[in-house]
Chains A and B, each alone.
Chain A
C-alpha cells in the first residue's frame, strides 16, 4: 500500500506520474488515472489564458494527503497517487493527476472518481481564471458539490 500526495510548482508530466504509479502497481490487476487540464474557456464562454492557483504553505498539501488517505481507507485499492499543480497553469496544460490501482478494476474506477470529486471541492486552493477580460475567481459549482455529496 502506498499513498502519495504531492504539490507541484512546475509543469506536471502525466506520463511520468503514470510511470511511477504503474511501477508501484506491479502486483495489481487494474490502474485508473485521471488528468485534469486547465480549461481554455470560462463557464461564461470567455477565453482563458491561464488558471492561477493560490495555495497555503501547509494546509494545501495536507488537504491533498487527507483526501488521498481517505480514498485508500475507503476503497479496496493498493496505491493512490495525487499530484496537483499550483501557481500559474497555462490553458491546456495538466493541472491535476489522480490515480489508483487495485486487484480488480471496480475499486480503482471508484477511487479515481472519489478523488476527483473531493479534490474539486475541498482541496485548499483559491483559483482564478485569467484572460483578456482580466481575472475571475472560480468557486465550486452546484454540480461539483452534488458530485462530492454522492460519497456521503
Chain B
C-alpha cells in the first residue's frame, strides 16, 4: 500500500512510502511506522488518518491497493 505523510511526518520519514502488507489496519500501520521511525512516534500518535479523503479510525482495514494518508496537526497559514 502507498502511504503519504505530511508536515513533520514527511520530514521524519518520507513524503511517500510503499509498505509491503497484504492486509492490516490503520492502527497497525501507525504502530509499524512508529516502531521503525522512533523520532516520528509522537507525531504519528496525534495524526489523523485518511483514506480517499475521509478520516478513518485505527480499526479500519487498509487494502493493498489503497492509499493511506497521515496528517499531523496543522500549523495554520
**B27 at interface by CB-CB < 8 Å:** no
Contact B8 A119 (CB under 8 A): no
**A127 at interface by CB-CB < 8 Å:** yes
Interface core residue of A119, A124, A138 (most chain B CB under 10 Å): A124
Which residues of chain A (43-93) have a CB below 8 Å from chain B?
Answer: 53-54, 56, 58-59, 84
Contact B73 A139 (CB under 8 A): yes
Contact A127 B71 (CB under 8 A): no
**B75 at interface by CB-CB < 8 Å:** yes
Q: Which residue of B lies closest to A86 (CB)?
A: B77
Which residues of chain A (118-148) have a CB below 8 Å from chain B?
Answer: 119-128, 135, 137-140, 144
Contact B6 A95 (CB under 8 A): no
Interface core residue of A54, A58, A125, A137 (most chain B CB under 10 Å): A54
Q: Which residues of the partner chain B approach A128 to less than 8 Å between Cβ atoms?
A: 11
Q: How many residues of B contact A (CB 8 A)?
A: 14
Q: Which residue of B lies closest to A137 (CB)?
A: B8
Q: Which residue of B lies closest to A118 (CB)?
A: B76
Contact B71 A125 (CB under 8 A): no
**A25 at interface by CB-CB < 8 Å:** no
Q: Which residues of the partner chain A approach B77 to less than 8 Å between Cβ atoms?
A: 36, 53, 84, 95-96, 119-120, 123, 125, 127
Q: Measured between alpha carbons, how far is A122 from B74 in the docked complex, in Å?
A: 7
Smallest CB separation, A94 vs chain B (Å): 12
Smallest CB separation, A55 vs chain B (Å): 8
Q: B-contacting residues of A (Cβ < 8 Å)?
A: 36, 53-54, 56, 58-59, 84, 95-96, 119-128, 135, 137-140, 144
Q: A-contacting residues of B (Cβ < 8 Å)?
A: 6-8, 10-11, 53, 69, 71-77
> 7 tightest A-B contacts by CB?
A126-B7, A127-B75, A123-B77, A119-B77, A121-B76, A120-B76, A140-B76
